[in-house]
A and B are shown apart, each in its own frame.
Chain A
Amino acid sequence: MPKITIDDIPIEVPEGTTILQAARMIGGDIVPPAMCYYSKLKTSGGYCRTCIVKVEQGSEKDPRPMPKPVASCRTNVMDGMVVRNITSQENLEARAGVVEFLLMNHPLDCPVCDQAGECHLQDLSYEHGKEGTRNEFERREYEPMDFGDTIKLNMNRCILCYRCVKVADQLTDGRCHGVINRGEHAEISTYIEKAIDNDFSGNMIDVCPVGALTDRTFRFKSRVWYTNPVDAHRDCDKCCGKVRLWNQGDEVLRVTARKDQFGEVIDNEDGSTAWICNDCRFEKKHLNDWVIEGPSDISRHSVISANHYESLRSIQKTTMKMMGAKPHGVKFELGDGALDPNNQ
């Protein structure tokens, strides 16, 4: 098993792991951001170059550094590799340059865009201080396009990450959606605007890192930070039925798949990916259709968690810490299991 070091943190990973996957195994701040790589989609990655890292030592046998930053999503680890991500100023500057390139044709219309608040490009640009633009030229402009009556394509916002193309390729049959033209003129399109009516086509909304593909049933209904995300499930014969509902009051405004900390759709217990079908996503917009499991776990740094209150679990944690796990006969009425030492 190759041993590598990422930002001075050593880790042993299986053969054939990419640097990005190894960094995700460590977790925390050192994970390079990824706009096009999606671990649940085969052959994704290698387009956007936001995940670039500096390789200071190629391997144990050949300790020469790699001459240029490498895309960590496509580079496999070697034994004795030394990688720098956030501890290298040079690397961060290079990534800031990549972010600026991604934003070159991206309209700064976040106030209009439905993705604002959960947009990876928005996070990325703010993290790198690139919320303004130096571009003096006209941006390319396209008319918004409808993929059927449920999906809206706003090609202006697209960063050509190809994730939706992979979804169309790998999840749906009879694909009629892809990238046409080349270079500056490349654009996502359906074959002569043919409607996409596959059961799993809605997942391309979930994988889109920007607001290029959005849910038409949610279009302009609300802003994401006014909605209340809850996890819910239902018996669905097409998919796993595990979803996240975005509610406002008793109204279900939007249904999405559940996502993990990297913004990717979670796995089922059996290891398959919890994609959801269009029936669950677009048709079941009533609370009675769902069994609510509880509030979704949203990072407290996210704007989505503004004004939301989590469960009372935190009180239990503090109590046990304060009492040093020695409940000396004092009975508190804090709810079930509050004094159980196993319930940390």
Chain B
Amino acid sequence: MLTNRSKQVVKREMTWFEKAYFPAILSGLSITIKHFFMKKATVKYPEVKREFAPVYRGQHVLKRDESGAERCTACGLCAVACPAEAITMTANERKKGEENLYREEKYASVYEINMLRCIFCGLCEEACPKEAIFLTDRIVPSTFERDEFIYGKDKLVEPIDQRVDVSKRQTPAVLEFKKDKHFKHNKTYLDKMLGKAKKH
């Protein structure tokens, strides 16, 4: 008895009304029935999707530029920034005639993200100097096999006819800067070809 707050437990005999259980069952049922008419807390996921915040960080995408060339140049900054060490890549040299496929002299011939390791922190996106990798509002689907979680370029690079919109993840200043074709950084292969054609 240090705190004077202890209470004696009394096992009281129930009255006749309580022993009948009927009122208690009724009140319980009324709560259940009330919930039938309340707004549901869940959605039926694959058919109905919740709205994501613009900064939601889901499955990665490797972007292509406006003319369809892969932006990634395998510089390795995403992999060195990755705290979970989920990213690996192998670089390769672009050959003559592949300028429309890859933006830079060097490209990633293998680019893999282990989605089981990834913690979706977005540091790869922040580290990328070429605006190549972005996290999107897509959810990485679950599977039964571990090796299916290692996403290669086939799953990461956006299909040329189904572009992934990441404009929400870029600041207005960046979007404005990218419109300025004066900078080499913003020129696609087509822009360069047009520029050369104009000169001649």
Contacts and interface: CB of A to CB of B under 8 A. Distances in A.
Q: How large is the interface on B (under 10, 10 to 19, 20 to 34, 35 or more residues)?
A: 10 to 19
Contact of B130 (A107, A111, A225): A111
Contact of A306 (B73, B80, B104, B105): B80
B106 to A, nearest CB: 5
Contact of B75 (A112, A136, A144, A306): A112
Interface in B123-141: 129-130
Contacts of B104: 109, 111-112
A223 B182 contact: no
Contacts of A144: 105
B73 A111 contact: yes
Interface string A207-240: 0000000000001111101100000000000000
Interface string B127-158: 00110000000000000000000000000000
Interface string B91-122: 11100000000001110000000000000000
A116 interface: yes
B41 to A, nearest CB: 44
A190 to B, nearest CB: 21
A221 B90 CA distance: 8
Contact of A112 (B73, B79, B182, B184): B73
A167 B108 CA distance: 34
Given A111-B129, A111-B130, A136-B182, A223 B76 contact: yes
A116 B75 contact: yes
Contacts of A225: 76, 80
B77 A112 contact: no
Given A111-B130, A306-B80, A223 B75 contact: yes
B182 A220 contact: no
Given A111-B130, A220-B92, A220-B93, A226 B105 contact: no
Contacts of A116: 75
A300 to B, nearest CB: 16
Interface string A295-307: 0000000010010
A235 B93 CA distance: 35
A112 B80 contact: no
Nearest to B195: A138
B91 A111 contact: no
Contacts of B73: 111-112
A220 B106 CA distance: 7
Given A219-B93, A220-B91, A220-B92, A112 B76 contact: no
A110 B128 CA distance: 12
Contacts of A220: 74, 91-93, 106
B93 A111 contact: no
Contacts of B184: 107, 139
Contacts of A306: 80
Contact of B76 (A107, A109, A136, A226): A226
Contact of B77 (A111, A219, A221, A222): A111
Which of A107, A144, A223, A225 has its CB near the most chain B CB atoms (within 10 A)?
A: A223
Contacts of B76: 222-223, 225-226
A145 B72 CA distance: 24
A79 B106 CA distance: 53
Nearest to A111: B75
A225 B91 CA distance: 15
A303 B105 CA distance: 23
Contacts of A111: 73, 75, 77, 104, 129-130
Contacts of B74: 220
Contacts of A226: 76, 79-80
Interface of B: 73-77, 79-80, 91-93, 104-106, 129-130, 182, 184
Given A110-B75, A219-B93, 9 more contacts: A109-B105, A112-B75, A220-B74, A220-B92, A221-B91, A222-B91, A223-B80, A226-B76, A226-B79
30 contacts: A109-B104, A109-B105, A110-B75, A110-B129, A111-B73, A111-B77, A111-B104, A111-B129, A111-B130, A112-B73, A112-B75, A112-B105, A116-B75, A136-B182, A219-B93, A220-B74, A220-B91, A220-B92, A220-B93, A220-B106, A222-B76, A222-B91, A223-B75, A223-B80, A225-B76, A225-B80, A226-B76, A226-B79, A303-B80, A306-B80
Interface of A: 107, 109-112, 116, 136, 139, 144, 219-223, 225-226, 303, 306
The 10 A-B pairs with the shortest beta carbon distances in the complex, nearest first, are A111-B75, A223-B76, A220-B91, A112-B106, A111-B73, A111-B129, A112-B104, A220-B106, A112-B105, A112-B73
